[in-house]
Amino acid sequence: MKKLLLAFIILLPVSVFATTYDNMATELLKKIPARDKTKVIAVMPFSSDKQMSSDARIAMEEMTKALINAGASVSERSQIDKMLKEQELQQVGILTNENAGEVGQGLGAKYVVLGTVTKIDKYGEEGNIGLKINVKLVMSSNYKVIAAASGEALAGDASSAYKRKTHRKAVDYPQFLEIYAGPTLFKYQGEYDDILGGSDGEIKDDYTAGLSIGARLISENDGFYTSGWEFLFSTRSFDDDSVNKRFDSYQVSWIPTIRIPLWVYFDSLPDYTSISIGYSLGLGINNVTYLDGDKEESSKGFGICTSAILGLRIGLTEAISFITDLRYTPHFFNAYARSQDVSGDDVTVREDLTGPSVYFGLSFTP
Protein backbone atom coordinates (compact mmCIF):
# COMPACT_ATOMS: atom_id res chain seq x y z
CA MET A 1 0.00 0.00 0.00
CA LYS A 2 2.87 2.37 0.88
CA LYS A 3 4.54 1.63 -2.45
CA LEU A 4 1.35 2.43 -4.34
CA LEU A 5 0.96 5.69 -2.40
CA LEU A 6 4.59 6.63 -3.14
CA ALA A 7 4.12 5.89 -6.84
CA PHE A 8 0.97 8.02 -6.86
CA ILE A 9 2.82 10.94 -5.24
CA ILE A 10 5.67 10.65 -7.75
CA LEU A 11 3.43 10.39 -10.80
CA LEU A 12 0.88 13.00 -9.75
CA PRO A 13 2.92 16.01 -10.92
CA VAL A 14 3.49 14.33 -14.26
CA SER A 15 -0.24 13.77 -14.84
CA VAL A 16 -1.43 17.11 -13.48
CA PHE A 17 1.25 19.36 -14.95
CA ALA A 18 1.83 17.63 -18.30
CA THR A 19 2.65 20.35 -20.83
CA THR A 20 2.22 20.88 -24.53
CA TYR A 21 5.77 19.58 -25.04
CA ASP A 22 5.23 16.46 -22.94
CA ASN A 23 2.24 15.60 -25.10
CA MET A 24 4.16 16.20 -28.33
CA ALA A 25 7.16 14.17 -27.11
CA THR A 26 4.90 11.26 -26.24
CA GLU A 27 3.22 11.47 -29.66
CA LEU A 28 6.58 11.32 -31.46
CA LEU A 29 8.19 8.60 -29.36
CA LYS A 30 5.31 6.15 -29.65
CA LYS A 31 5.98 5.97 -33.40
CA ILE A 32 9.56 4.74 -32.90
CA PRO A 33 9.88 0.94 -33.24
CA ALA A 34 10.68 -0.92 -30.01
CA ARG A 35 14.09 -1.95 -31.31
CA ASP A 36 15.07 1.73 -31.75
CA LYS A 37 13.86 3.08 -28.40
CA THR A 38 17.45 3.54 -27.18
CA LYS A 39 18.70 5.22 -30.38
CA VAL A 40 19.90 8.82 -30.19
CA ILE A 41 17.60 11.68 -31.23
CA ALA A 42 18.86 15.12 -32.29
CA VAL A 43 16.60 18.15 -31.86
CA MET A 44 17.29 20.72 -34.58
CA PRO A 45 16.76 24.49 -34.07
CA PHE A 46 13.11 25.40 -34.58
CA SER A 47 12.33 27.78 -37.45
CA SER A 48 10.25 30.94 -37.01
CA ASP A 49 9.91 34.55 -38.05
CA LYS A 50 12.78 36.73 -36.88
CA GLN A 51 10.62 38.51 -34.29
CA MET A 52 9.86 35.18 -32.60
CA SER A 53 13.38 33.75 -32.66
CA SER A 54 13.65 33.83 -28.86
CA ASP A 55 10.32 32.00 -28.56
CA ALA A 56 11.54 29.40 -31.05
CA ARG A 57 14.70 28.91 -29.00
CA ILE A 58 12.68 28.35 -25.82
CA ALA A 59 10.34 25.97 -27.65
CA MET A 60 13.32 23.92 -28.91
CA GLU A 61 14.79 23.70 -25.39
CA GLU A 62 11.45 22.72 -23.89
CA MET A 63 11.00 20.03 -26.55
CA THR A 64 14.47 18.68 -25.78
CA LYS A 65 13.68 18.57 -22.07
CA ALA A 66 10.34 16.82 -22.71
CA LEU A 67 12.04 14.12 -24.81
CA ILE A 68 14.61 13.51 -22.09
CA ASN A 69 11.88 13.31 -19.44
CA ALA A 70 10.06 10.80 -21.64
CA GLY A 71 13.13 8.53 -21.62
CA ALA A 72 14.74 9.42 -24.97
CA SER A 73 18.50 9.66 -25.52
CA VAL A 74 19.10 13.14 -26.91
CA SER A 75 22.22 14.62 -28.57
CA GLU A 76 24.07 17.36 -26.72
CA ARG A 77 23.05 20.87 -27.78
CA SER A 78 26.66 21.99 -28.19
CA GLN A 79 27.40 19.09 -30.56
CA ILE A 80 24.37 19.94 -32.71
CA ASP A 81 25.34 23.62 -32.91
CA LYS A 82 28.93 22.67 -33.79
CA MET A 83 27.77 20.36 -36.61
CA LEU A 84 25.41 23.02 -37.99
CA LYS A 85 28.25 25.54 -37.99
CA GLU A 86 30.63 23.15 -39.74
CA GLN A 87 28.03 22.50 -42.46
CA GLU A 88 27.22 26.23 -42.65
CA LEU A 89 23.56 25.61 -41.83
CA GLN A 90 23.22 27.94 -38.83
CA GLN A 91 21.97 30.85 -40.95
CA VAL A 92 19.71 28.84 -43.25
CA GLY A 93 16.62 29.51 -41.13
CA ILE A 94 14.58 26.52 -42.25
CA LEU A 95 16.27 23.13 -42.32
CA THR A 96 15.06 20.60 -44.87
CA ASN A 97 14.62 16.94 -44.02
CA GLU A 98 17.77 16.23 -45.99
CA ASN A 99 19.88 18.89 -44.23
CA ALA A 100 18.69 17.73 -40.81
CA GLY A 101 19.18 14.06 -41.71
CA GLU A 102 22.78 14.68 -42.72
CA VAL A 103 23.45 16.49 -39.46
CA GLY A 104 21.87 13.59 -37.60
CA GLN A 105 24.09 11.09 -39.42
CA GLY A 106 27.15 13.14 -38.49
CA LEU A 107 26.09 13.06 -34.84
CA GLY A 108 25.29 9.36 -34.90
CA ALA A 109 21.60 10.11 -34.30
CA LYS A 110 19.08 7.65 -35.69
CA TYR A 111 16.34 10.33 -35.72
CA VAL A 112 16.11 14.11 -35.86
CA VAL A 113 13.31 16.38 -34.68
CA LEU A 114 12.37 19.43 -36.76
CA GLY A 115 10.01 22.15 -35.56
CA THR A 116 8.32 25.37 -36.64
CA VAL A 117 6.84 28.13 -34.50
CA THR A 118 4.15 30.49 -35.81
CA LYS A 119 2.08 33.20 -34.16
CA ILE A 120 -1.63 32.82 -33.41
CA ASP A 121 -4.07 35.03 -31.52
CA LYS A 122 -7.59 34.98 -30.16
CA TYR A 123 -10.11 36.46 -32.51
CA GLY A 124 -10.60 40.16 -31.87
CA GLU A 125 -8.48 40.23 -28.72
CA GLU A 126 -5.51 42.52 -29.20
CA GLY A 127 -2.35 41.41 -27.45
CA ASN A 128 -3.65 37.95 -26.62
CA ILE A 129 -1.01 36.08 -28.60
CA GLY A 130 0.07 32.47 -28.58
CA LEU A 131 2.38 30.19 -30.52
CA LYS A 132 1.52 27.25 -32.72
CA ILE A 133 4.27 24.65 -32.53
CA ASN A 134 4.56 21.88 -35.14
CA VAL A 135 7.15 19.13 -34.81
CA LYS A 136 8.08 16.10 -36.88
CA LEU A 137 10.33 13.10 -36.37
CA VAL A 138 12.58 12.28 -39.34
CA MET A 139 14.82 9.25 -39.94
CA SER A 140 18.38 10.44 -40.53
CA SER A 141 19.18 7.68 -43.01
CA ASN A 142 16.40 8.20 -45.57
CA TYR A 143 14.88 11.59 -44.50
CA LYS A 144 11.47 9.96 -44.10
CA VAL A 145 8.96 11.57 -41.71
CA ILE A 146 7.62 8.88 -39.37
CA ALA A 147 5.67 11.03 -36.88
CA ALA A 148 4.25 14.52 -36.43
CA ALA A 149 2.61 16.42 -33.58
CA SER A 150 1.48 19.93 -32.74
CA GLY A 151 0.58 22.07 -29.75
CA GLU A 152 0.11 25.62 -28.55
CA ALA A 153 2.00 27.74 -26.03
CA LEU A 154 1.83 31.28 -24.69
CA ALA A 155 3.92 33.81 -26.61
CA GLY A 156 6.58 35.45 -24.44
CA ASP A 157 6.68 32.33 -22.27
CA ALA A 158 6.88 29.47 -24.72
CA SER A 159 7.03 26.93 -21.91
CA SER A 160 3.47 27.70 -20.74
CA ALA A 161 0.43 25.98 -22.14
CA TYR A 162 -1.89 28.22 -24.15
CA LYS A 163 -5.51 27.39 -24.91
CA ARG A 164 -6.63 29.21 -28.00
CA LYS A 165 -10.30 30.04 -28.32
CA THR A 166 -11.94 30.54 -31.68
CA HIS A 167 -14.26 33.46 -32.34
CA ARG A 168 -17.61 33.14 -30.61
CA LYS A 169 -20.69 34.33 -32.40
CA ALA A 170 -22.60 37.21 -30.82
CA VAL A 171 -25.39 34.89 -29.72
CA ASP A 172 -25.13 31.16 -30.36
CA TYR A 173 -26.97 28.83 -27.98
CA PRO A 174 -27.47 25.07 -28.28
CA GLN A 175 -30.52 23.23 -27.00
CA PHE A 176 -30.75 22.99 -23.20
CA LEU A 177 -32.45 20.44 -20.96
CA GLU A 178 -32.98 21.91 -17.49
CA ILE A 179 -33.98 20.31 -14.19
CA TYR A 180 -34.68 22.46 -11.13
CA ALA A 181 -36.53 22.80 -7.83
CA GLY A 182 -37.10 25.45 -5.22
CA PRO A 183 -39.30 27.02 -2.54
CA THR A 184 -42.54 28.86 -3.22
CA LEU A 185 -44.43 31.40 -1.13
CA PHE A 186 -47.96 31.38 -2.52
CA LYS A 187 -51.10 33.02 -1.20
CA TYR A 188 -54.37 31.13 -1.78
CA GLN A 189 -57.67 32.70 -2.72
CA GLY A 190 -60.79 30.69 -3.51
CA GLU A 191 -64.40 31.62 -4.27
CA TYR A 192 -66.81 28.92 -3.09
CA ASP A 193 -70.51 28.66 -4.05
CA ASP A 194 -72.97 27.25 -1.50
CA ILE A 195 -70.33 26.26 1.03
CA LEU A 196 -70.74 28.84 3.76
CA GLY A 197 -74.26 28.68 5.14
CA GLY A 198 -75.91 28.31 1.73
CA SER A 199 -74.45 31.53 0.31
CA ASP A 200 -71.45 32.35 -1.80
CA GLY A 201 -68.26 32.75 0.16
CA GLU A 202 -64.54 33.27 -0.07
CA ILE A 203 -61.68 31.44 1.60
CA LYS A 204 -58.21 32.93 1.82
CA ASP A 205 -54.98 31.44 3.13
CA ASP A 206 -52.03 33.75 3.65
CA TYR A 207 -48.58 33.33 2.10
CA THR A 208 -47.45 29.79 2.90
CA ALA A 209 -44.19 28.02 2.01
CA GLY A 210 -44.34 25.22 -0.52
CA LEU A 211 -42.19 23.42 -3.07
CA SER A 212 -41.92 23.21 -6.86
CA ILE A 213 -40.05 20.74 -9.06
CA GLY A 214 -39.72 21.22 -12.80
CA ALA A 215 -38.07 20.33 -16.11
CA ARG A 216 -37.69 22.52 -19.16
CA LEU A 217 -36.49 22.08 -22.75
CA ILE A 218 -35.11 25.26 -24.35
CA SER A 219 -34.86 25.42 -28.14
CA GLU A 220 -31.57 25.93 -29.97
CA ASN A 221 -31.33 29.51 -31.24
CA ASP A 222 -28.67 31.86 -32.58
CA GLY A 223 -30.56 35.04 -31.66
CA PHE A 224 -31.55 36.85 -28.50
CA TYR A 225 -35.05 35.38 -28.61
CA THR A 226 -35.86 31.76 -27.81
CA SER A 227 -38.65 29.69 -26.32
CA GLY A 228 -39.13 26.44 -24.49
CA TRP A 229 -41.58 24.00 -22.91
CA GLU A 230 -41.84 23.35 -19.20
CA PHE A 231 -43.45 20.81 -16.90
CA LEU A 232 -43.85 22.01 -13.31
CA PHE A 233 -45.23 20.36 -10.20
CA SER A 234 -46.06 22.54 -7.16
CA THR A 235 -47.45 21.71 -3.73
CA ARG A 236 -48.37 23.64 -0.59
CA SER A 237 -50.32 22.99 2.60
CA PHE A 238 -52.85 25.34 4.24
CA ASP A 239 -52.19 27.21 7.46
CA ASP A 240 -55.93 27.22 8.13
CA ASP A 241 -56.73 23.56 7.45
CA SER A 242 -60.29 23.59 8.78
CA VAL A 243 -61.56 23.22 5.19
CA ASN A 244 -58.61 22.66 2.86
CA LYS A 245 -55.52 20.56 3.60
CA ARG A 246 -53.25 20.65 0.53
CA PHE A 247 -53.10 22.23 -2.94
CA ASP A 248 -51.16 20.41 -5.72
CA SER A 249 -50.82 21.55 -9.32
CA TYR A 250 -49.37 20.07 -12.52
CA GLN A 251 -48.58 22.58 -15.28
CA VAL A 252 -47.41 22.45 -18.87
CA SER A 253 -46.28 25.84 -20.17
CA TRP A 254 -44.73 27.52 -23.19
CA ILE A 255 -42.11 30.12 -22.26
CA PRO A 256 -41.06 32.84 -24.76
CA THR A 257 -37.76 34.32 -23.53
CA ILE A 258 -35.29 37.11 -24.27
CA ARG A 259 -31.67 36.26 -23.32
CA ILE A 260 -28.68 38.59 -22.90
CA PRO A 261 -25.39 36.73 -23.56
CA LEU A 262 -23.06 37.98 -20.82
CA TRP A 263 -20.39 35.52 -21.96
CA VAL A 264 -20.01 37.49 -25.18
CA TYR A 265 -19.62 40.91 -23.57
CA PHE A 266 -17.41 39.75 -20.68
CA ASP A 267 -14.82 37.31 -21.98
CA SER A 268 -13.80 36.18 -18.50
CA LEU A 269 -17.23 34.58 -18.03
CA PRO A 270 -17.79 30.94 -19.03
CA ASP A 271 -19.71 30.14 -22.22
CA TYR A 272 -23.52 30.42 -22.05
CA THR A 273 -23.48 32.64 -18.94
CA SER A 274 -26.52 34.87 -19.48
CA ILE A 275 -29.52 36.56 -17.94
CA SER A 276 -33.03 36.14 -19.30
CA ILE A 277 -36.52 37.56 -19.05
CA GLY A 278 -39.50 35.40 -19.92
CA TYR A 279 -43.16 34.73 -19.28
CA SER A 280 -44.68 31.27 -18.97
CA LEU A 281 -48.11 30.66 -20.50
CA GLY A 282 -49.66 27.32 -19.66
CA LEU A 283 -52.48 25.04 -18.72
CA GLY A 284 -52.69 23.09 -15.51
CA ILE A 285 -54.52 20.50 -13.48
CA ASN A 286 -54.88 21.02 -9.74
CA ASN A 287 -55.81 18.64 -6.98
CA VAL A 288 -57.09 19.95 -3.66
CA THR A 289 -57.34 17.78 -0.57
CA TYR A 290 -60.07 19.00 1.79
CA LEU A 291 -62.22 17.94 4.74
CA ASP A 292 -65.86 16.91 4.29
CA GLY A 293 -66.92 16.70 7.88
CA ASP A 294 -64.38 14.36 9.46
CA LYS A 295 -63.60 12.67 6.16
CA GLU A 296 -60.67 13.68 3.95
CA GLU A 297 -61.60 14.02 0.28
CA SER A 298 -60.00 15.44 -2.87
CA SER A 299 -61.15 16.97 -6.16
CA LYS A 300 -59.43 17.94 -9.37
CA GLY A 301 -59.81 21.04 -11.50
CA PHE A 302 -58.49 22.63 -14.68
CA GLY A 303 -57.20 26.12 -15.39
CA ILE A 304 -54.66 28.54 -16.82
CA CYS A 305 -51.35 29.36 -15.13
CA THR A 306 -48.79 32.05 -15.91
CA SER A 307 -45.74 33.60 -14.27
CA ALA A 308 -43.06 36.22 -14.95
CA ILE A 309 -39.49 34.86 -14.93
CA LEU A 310 -36.10 36.49 -14.36
CA GLY A 311 -33.35 33.93 -14.92
CA LEU A 312 -29.59 33.60 -14.54
CA ARG A 313 -27.40 30.96 -16.21
CA ILE A 314 -23.75 30.38 -15.24
CA GLY A 315 -21.71 28.05 -17.42
CA LEU A 316 -19.79 25.40 -15.50
CA THR A 317 -18.51 23.32 -18.44
CA GLU A 318 -19.29 23.13 -22.14
CA ALA A 319 -22.17 20.77 -21.34
CA ILE A 320 -23.39 21.82 -17.87
CA SER A 321 -24.65 25.14 -16.49
CA PHE A 322 -26.02 26.27 -13.13
CA ILE A 323 -29.40 28.01 -13.40
CA THR A 324 -31.62 29.98 -11.09
CA ASP A 325 -35.06 31.55 -11.69
CA LEU A 326 -36.83 34.23 -9.70
CA ARG A 327 -40.56 34.07 -10.50
CA TYR A 328 -43.75 35.83 -9.62
CA THR A 329 -47.21 34.38 -10.19
CA PRO A 330 -49.78 37.20 -10.47
CA HIS A 331 -53.42 37.09 -9.37
CA PHE A 332 -54.67 37.79 -12.88
CA PHE A 333 -54.20 35.22 -15.66
CA ASN A 334 -54.16 32.47 -13.03
CA ALA A 335 -57.37 30.61 -12.24
CA TYR A 336 -58.53 27.05 -11.66
CA ALA A 337 -62.12 25.78 -11.64
CA ARG A 338 -63.30 22.55 -10.04
CA SER A 339 -66.31 20.92 -8.45
CA GLN A 340 -66.17 19.89 -4.79
CA ASP A 341 -68.55 17.45 -3.13
CA VAL A 342 -69.56 18.70 0.31
CA SER A 343 -72.12 16.65 2.27
CA GLY A 344 -73.64 15.35 -0.94
CA ASP A 345 -73.84 18.77 -2.62
CA ASP A 346 -71.70 19.89 -5.56
CA VAL A 347 -69.85 23.12 -4.86
CA THR A 348 -68.23 25.15 -7.64
CA VAL A 349 -64.80 26.48 -6.72
CA ARG A 350 -62.76 29.13 -8.53
CA GLU A 351 -59.29 29.57 -7.03
CA ASP A 352 -55.73 30.71 -7.66
CA LEU A 353 -52.28 31.01 -6.10
CA THR A 354 -50.33 34.27 -6.04
CA GLY A 355 -46.76 34.97 -5.01
CA PRO A 356 -43.01 34.54 -5.56
CA SER A 357 -40.87 31.44 -6.02
CA VAL A 358 -37.15 30.75 -6.51
CA TYR A 359 -35.77 27.77 -8.43
CA PHE A 360 -32.23 26.36 -8.54
CA GLY A 361 -30.99 23.65 -10.86
CA LEU A 362 -28.71 22.35 -13.58
CA SER A 363 -28.89 22.72 -17.33
CA PHE A 364 -27.50 20.13 -19.73
CA THR A 365 -26.57 20.43 -23.39
CA PRO A 366 -27.86 17.22 -25.05
pLDDT in tens, 28-51: 999 999 888 889 999 999 988 878
Res. 165 pLDDT band, cuts 50 70 90: low
Q: Could you write out the three-class secondary structure of the chain?
A: CHHHHHHHHHHHHHHHCCCHHHHHHHHHHCCCCHHHCCCEEEECCCECCHHHHHHHHHHHHHHHHHHHHCCCEECCHHHHHHHHHHCCCCCCCCCCHHHHHHHHHHHCCCEEEEEEEEEEECCCCCCCEEEEEEEEEEECCCCCEEEEEEEEEECCEEEEECCCCCCCCCCCECCEEEEEEEEEEEEEEEEEEEEECCEEEEEEEEEEEEEEEEEEEECCECCCEEEEEEEEEEEEECCCCCCEEEEEEEEEEEEEEEEECHHHHCCCCCCCCEEEEEEEEEEEEEEEEEEECCEEEEEEEEEEEEEEEEEEEEECCCCEEEEEEEEEECCCCCEEEEEEEECCEEEEEEEEEEEEEEEEEEEECC
Check residues 344 and 93 and name the one with the higher pLDDT.
Answer: 344
What per-residue confidence (pLDDT) applies to 302? 95
What per-residue confidence (pLDDT) applies to 361? 96
User: Are 17-161 and 176-364 the same fold in CATH?
Assistant: no
In this predicted structure, the answer to whether residue 25 has a pLDDT above a threshold of 80 is: yes
pLDDT (mean) for 159-188: 80
Domain 17-161 CATH superfamily: ABC-type transport auxiliary lipoprotein component (3.40.50.10610)
pLDDT (mean) for 285-295: 88
What per-residue confidence (pLDDT) applies to 179? 97
Nearest-CA neighbor of 20 among 163, 224, 137? 163
Q: Per CATH, is 176-364 categorized as 2.40.160? A: yes
Identify the top-confidence range among 54-68, 76-90, 257-271: 54-68
pLDDT in tens, 117-134: 988 876 656 666 788 899
What per-residue confidence (pLDDT) applies to 236? 95
What per-residue confidence (pLDDT) applies to 93? 61
What per-residue confidence (pLDDT) applies to 170? 55
Distance CA 162, CA 270 (A): 17
What per-residue confidence (pLDDT) applies to 167? 52
Segment among 29-33, 100-104, 157-161, 167-171 with least mean pLDDT:
167-171
Annotated domain spans of the chain: 17-161, 176-364
Q: How far is CA 146 from CA 33, 45, 60, 164, in A?
A: 10, 19, 19, 27
pLDDT in tens, 337-353: 998 876 677 888 999 99
What per-residue confidence (pLDDT) applies to 123? 60
Check residues 222 and 313 and name the one with the higher pLDDT.
Answer: 313
